[in-house]
Every structure is written in structure tokens, then in C-alpha cells.
Amino acid sequence: MKKYVLKMAAALFSSMLLAVCFAAEVRADEVLQFTKNLVLGQTVNDSLSTGNGRYDFTIQRSGTLTVQMGVYEGSGYSWGYHGGATLYEDNGREIKKLRVSDNTSGTDTGVFTADILAGNYYIIIDRAHGDLNYYLSTDYIDSKETVVDSLTDTHNSQANPISLPLKKTYTGHIADNSADDVYKVKSSKSQYITFKVANRTNGCVFKIINTNNTVNRTENISANSQSVKVFCPKGTYYVTISKYSDWTDNPHTGTYTIRADASGIPTSNIKKVTNKSGKIMAVTFVLRNAETVNGYQIQYATNNKFTKGRKSVFVTNSNYLKSTYEILVGSKKTCYVRIRTYVEDNRGNRYYSAWSSQKKISIRK
């Protein structure tokens, strides 16, 4: 019993000692020798002997930051790891880092590039051992984005989108610390909207969705530019430009431009109408691309106001559809004929183009 009590006491003491040790542990970037303000675009020369160094800076607009660190010969370890630089948001979230190790005679260097939002940041310089003599060089390129995306005001959700008007080109920026930009587009009527995305991000992802989910489409955009044509019934749409993910080391971050242009539903016209034997009316009309027109409505009546004896025939579009469609009229009469196209959403709702001009035909045989 006595031995058991002693073992329990020893175990308790060990756990308390371990807890004290862990409680005393601090993060490396909390042991600071100094804190300084950093002016981007300049090179600073500094040294560390008792702790780490911190450099604070602010950027007013998102962009691309390049950080290079060089360790002079004879400082830190003579071999292996010398020290490094780590970029943080002001809330302590790590974004990117570099490590400098001995690999050549003279100055050893490391570099990283980060696409970041507007906001407050800091860089921590850590040392491996002994005195560290180094330089820190930075370069910053403004993204010139149309609407500022910052750490405190990100436009990456439908709750806080960027309003994108038609016929306007906007510049955006995909950052390492914000992978999405969300735009709100309003369609005042049922129409096609063509989105042109030109990017320098090694590829991005385009997604559009509306509030009632009748439109939901995703496209991968190439590294150059691409147009996506989407049928948009009247309503509000949200377009997301997001970081493309693949197995390569390409960063898929950087600037892009987006533009939205509207166009109506493609119309059709009647080329000619002929009477074939058997009281058949043959209507020859203009075919439209099956990707933009789902079908046609051919309508005929016995008066030119289409109020008497009106009938309609619906023809489904396809790449194999012939341009002449035969309709059995069934009796001798004079007919007026017109045509219009239609587009269907993913729930089967139809949206029509304007009617074509009408043609007159007398059915005699």
C-alpha cells in the first residue's frame, strides 16, 4: 500500500511539473528583441542577438508582396539553418514564410511572394543560433482592384458582395488569404449575359447562381481569358471568382478582370412558306445554335392579328434539326404564320424571344 501511494505521488508530481513546463512555453515570435515599422520597397540591414525581430506595415489596397531575406556570411550557424522570415496578418494568422540555410559561400538568401488583402501585417525574423546579421528586402505591386478587399471588409460571400454593373470592366484580386470574390449582378429582364474573365492567376473558377437556384453553373477559366454565356431570367445573380486548385505548385493567385454584357434571346425568321399536297404547310425558318435556343414556336392563324383559328406547334431544337418543318393544316384556307424561339431554365420554365414578321400562305391543295 505504501509503495502504491509513493508511485501515485511521484506520478502526480511529474504531471504537475510537465504542466508548469508547458505553461511556461511561449511562441517564438513572442520573444522579441525589437519591433519596427517597415517601409515597403526599401531594404533594411539589421542584426539579432537575444531574440526575434518584428516589422509592422500596412497596405491600403490588395496586391503582390515579395519578401527576400539574406544572411551574411559568418552569422548564425556556419552550416544548416540560419534563420527565416514569416508573414502574418495582424491577428496572428500565418500566411507565408521563407527559410535561409547555408548553401553557398557569401550571402545565403531566401524569398517568397504572397498575394494579400489590404490591411495590417507584420513579418517576424527568427534566428537559429548566435548573432544573426541579415538584410530584409520587400517589393509591393498594387493590384489596382476596382473595389478594395481588405482584412476587415472582405467581399467573399453573398452577405457582402461587390455590385457588378453591366457593360463595366472590374479588376479583382485573388489573394493567399482570401480565395474568393463574390459579385452581385442584376438582370432587369430575361436575357443572356456573357461574362468575360481575363486573369493572370494561372487559372481560376467561375460560378454563377441565382436566388431561386434556377441557374447554377461552374466553369474553369484558363490562364488567359474566357467568356461564359449564361441565360439569366429576370432576377439577382451571384458570381464567384475563386482560386483554382490542382496538383501543381502554381499559386493560382493574382489579378483578374471581369465584365458582364447582356444580349437578348436569339430570334428566328421565316424564310418561306409553301403549300404541299395533302393540305400541308411547309415552313422554312432560320435555325439558331442549340446551345442558346432550346426550341421554336410556330404559330398560324386565319387573320393577321392572330385572334382567329390560332394554333401553335412547338419544335425542339437540336444540332440535327432541319430548317423546314411541315404542318398538316387539314383544310383549304388562308393562313398567317410567324415564329419565335424559346429558352428553358433547369425547371422547365420557358422564356420567349420576340415574334418574327409574319408571312401569308393560301392552302389550296
Instruction: Tell whether the model's pLDDT for residue 10 goes beyond 60.
Output: no
Beta-bridged to residue 272, according to DSSP, are: 284
Averaged pLDDT for residues 337-356: 95
Query: Comparing C-alpha atoms, which of 180, 296, 297, 292 is closest to residue 238?
Result: 180
DSSP 29: G
Instruction: Tell whether the model's pLDDT for residue 4 goes beyond 50.
Output: no
CA-CA distance, 361 to 300, in Å (whole number)? Answer: 10
State whether residue 246 is helix, strand or coil. Answer: coil
The most confident of the ranges 100-104, 192-196, 203-207, 251-255 is 192-196
Averaged pLDDT for residues 252-268: 94
pLDDT digits (tens, 9 = 90+) for 32-52: 999 999 999 999 999 999 899
Instruction: Give the pLDDT of residue 128.
Output: 80
The residue behind cell 524569398 is 111
Instruction: Tell whether the model's pLDDT for residue 28 goes beyond 60.
Output: no
The total of other beta-carbon atoms located within 10 Å of residue 225's CB is 13
Query: Cα 339 vs. chain centroid, distance in angstroms?
Result: 39
Averaged pLDDT for residues 110-117: 95
Instruction: Tell whether the model's pLDDT for residue 194 goes beyond 80.
Output: yes
Averaged pLDDT for residues 49-73: 94
Instruction: Give the pLDDT of residue 74.
Output: 63
State whether residue 58 is helix, strand or coil. Answer: strand
- Locate 243 and state its grid cell: 482560386
Among the ranges given (22-26, 31-35, 113-117, 361-365), the one the predictor scored with the smallest mean pLDDT: 22-26
The total of other beta-carbon atoms located within 10 Å of residue 100's CB is 24
Contact (CB, 8 A) for 327 and 280: yes
State whether residue 50 is helix, strand or coil. Answer: coil
- Locate 339 and state its grid cell: 415564329
Instruction: Give the pLDDT of residue 225.
Output: 85
Instruction: Tell whether the model's pLDDT for residue 178 goes beyond 50.
Output: yes
The residue behind cell 490542382 is 246
Instruction: Give the pLDDT of residue 3.
Output: 46
Instruction: Give the pLDDT of residue 77.
Output: 52
Instruction: Give the pLDDT of residue 17.
Output: 38
pLDDT digits (tens, 9 = 90+) for 124-172: 999 887 788 999 999 999 999 999 999 999 999 999 999 999 999 999 9
CA-CA distance, 163 to 25, in Å (whole number)? Answer: 48
Residues 6+ apart with CB under 8 A from 339: 268, 269, 270, 283, 285, 296, 297, 298, 299, 355, 356
Query: Comparing C-alpha atoms, which of 124, 96, 130 is closest to residue 38?
Result: 124
Instruction: Tell whether the model's pLDDT for residue 9 goes beyond 70.
Output: no
Among the ranges given (25-29, 351-355, 358-362), the one the predictor scored with the smallest mean pLDDT: 25-29
Instruction: Give the pLDDT of residue 139.
Output: 97
Give whole-number Cα distances, 8 to 5, 13, 21, 194, in Å. 5, 9, 20, 74
Considering the chain, what is the average pLDDT of its residues? 88
* Domains of the chain by start residue, with CATH: 28-142 (2.60.120.380), 162-263 (2.60.120.380), 270-363 (2.60.40.10)
Instruction: Give the pLDDT of residue 294.
Output: 97
User: Backbone phi, then psi, for 358, in 5-degree steps?
Assistant: -95, 155
Q: Higher model confidence: residue 16 or residue 193?
A: 193
Instruction: Tell whether the model's pLDDT for residue 27 goes beyond 60.
Output: no
Instruction: Give the pLDDT of residue 222.
Output: 78
pLDDT band per the 50, 70, 90 thresholds, residue 21:
very low
Contact (CB, 8 A) for 199 and 221: yes
Instruction: Give the pLDDT of residue 208.
Output: 97
CA-CA distance, 165 to 230, in Å (whole number)? Answer: 16
Averaged pLDDT for residues 256-272: 96
Q: Higher model confidence: residue 93 or residue 222?
A: 93
Averaged pLDDT for residues 245-262: 81
